[in-house]
Amino acid sequence: MSRYVVSALLLAGCSETYSGGEDDPKGSSEDSAVETDADTDSDSDTDTDTDTDTDTDTDADGDGDIDADGDGDLDSDTDSDTDTDTDTDTDVDTGTASCPPSGPDFTYVVETLEVAGSRDGLDLDGDGTSDNVLSVIKSSLDDSIVDAMATTTSVIIVQLWNVDDWCEDPDVYGGILSATDTDGNVADNYSGSEAFDAGSAIDSSGHSTEVGTVVIASSTWSITVASASFEAGGFTLTNATPVYGVGTADDASIAGTMGFALPATLMEEIAAAEGYDPDLAWSLADIDSDGDGTYDALSIAFEFTGVTGSVY
């Protein structure tokens, strides 16, 4: 976002009235996921029974046999019993990813960005309802975003790494950061192969220094980043709540919704610097970020799409 975007946000807030509306839980989507599992099971049972029972009876009755019945016959009974039971069960599970990625690390540059509708925000404060108070100035802010993205060298980067499966993967990491296009050609920012300068926002491995937890379930990713910041018009926009996100992704693209809250004190500072009534920020505040019973932050949600890129 540029300084023009921030100004438009505040200007529109002065001229448009928040009419409220029924709070709805954030939307959810389900995509079927198929898991392929190759299971090879072999059971080998070998039973060997040998019964050997030798009974020898020697007596002194003088009839020439070895028992004591006096009938003169020879009775030999051999019965041997040996029981060997061997059970071998071998189960080999060769399950493979049902939605395998081309690699473990993915970097996307946000190509389209717009404020989500009032019912399409994310739940920032855990009360089960959609939070997106700044949707009341959606039309004005969306126009500003379009203008800014067509001319600015600053871009928003979304990263996902340690990806093993696009359908189901509980152990993924992610980050959201700003980067700069340095080649002087904004037109190729979304070509799918553009590289951007992320400066100190990435570490030596090329990953965001602000690391978020990501879970992929039923082909839908969700991310929580505790801390993130973006440069806008000379101001550093920090978050009063974690940045939350949800959406879908594959090797070539990403789409979803991001939501967070801006501190009212920050918005008050921006309003004063731009010549607007600082009380505007507090009149729109809808999030109690510190749990003291006072609304001290303004919620916002963005819907976005992105294509692959890289950072250095």
C-alpha dist (Å) from residue 124 to 174, 210, 228, 301: 19, 19, 15, 10
pLDDT bucket at 275, cuts 50 / 70 / 90 = confident
Residue spans of the domains in the chain: they are: 3-15+106-311
List pLDDT tens digits, range 233-271: 556 778 999 999 999 999 999 999 999 999 999 989 888
List pLDDT tens digits, range 44-81: 444 444 444 444 545 555 655 565 656 565 555 544 55
Q: Which residue has the higher pLDDT, 95 or 307?
A: 307
pLDDT bucket at 197, cuts 50 / 70 / 90 = very high
Mean pLDDT estimate for the chain: 78
pLDDT at 108: 98
pLDDT at 149: 86
Across the range 202-222, mean pLDDT stands at: 97
pLDDT at 79: 47
pLDDT bucket at 133, cuts 50 / 70 / 90 = very high
Residue 210 pLDDT > 60 = yes
Count H helices, E strands: the chain?
4, 16
List pLDDT tens digits, range 134-151: 998 898 888 888 888 888
Residue 209 pLDDT > 90 = yes
Residue 7 pLDDT > 50 = no
pLDDT at 82: 53
pLDDT at 15: 38
pLDDT at 237: 74
How buried is residue 265: exposed, middle or buried, by Cβ count under 10 Å (0-12/13-18/19+)?
middle
List pLDDT tens digits, range 81-127: 554 555 444 444 445 789 999 999 999 999 999 999 999 999 999 99
